[in-house]
């Protein structure tokens, strides 16, 4: 229960830290396949763009479904293109526990 509360608090803090710049998407962006190069690009973007406003979270800290919501909220604030959004999401869900 405490971890659920902590995750909800984290999401609220992340959402409140920036002003929304776009309408959220209801599902993860789709691509045919992600190459290793695109996933590496996603990691680089995650480490640079996300770290500007807050500490980085471990990709394994959230499920792929949770990352959809987080990415949909944060990608517009980080001014990511749809392609960059996809690469970061693909990187986050590619990291195994």
Residue 57 carries which DSSP code? P
Contact 64, 93 (CB under 8 A): yes
- Residue that the structure tokens 């990709």 belong to: 59
Q: pLDDT per residue over 42-55, tens digit each?
A: 999 999 999 999 99
Distance separating alpha carbons of residues 58 and 89, to the nearest angstrom: 13
pLDDT digits 0-9 by tens, 36-94 = 999 999 999 999 999 999 999 999 999 999 999 999 999 999 999 999 999 999 999 99
Q: Which residues have a Cβ under 8 Å from the Cβ of 50 and sit 6 or more positions away?
A: 56, 74, 78, 88
């Amino acid at each position: 229960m405490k971890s659920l509360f902590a995750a909800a608090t984290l999401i609220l803090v992340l959402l409140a830290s920036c002003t929304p710049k776009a309408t959220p998407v209801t599902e993860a962006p789709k691509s045919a396949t992600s190459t290793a190069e695109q996933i590496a690009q996603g990691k680089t973007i995650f480490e640079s763009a996300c770290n500007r406003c807050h500490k980085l979270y471990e990709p394994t800290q959230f499920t792929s479904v949770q990352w959809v919501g987080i990415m949909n909220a944060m990608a517009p604030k980080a001014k990511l293109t749809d392609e960059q959004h996809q690469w970061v999401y693909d990187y986050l869900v590619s990291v195994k526990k």
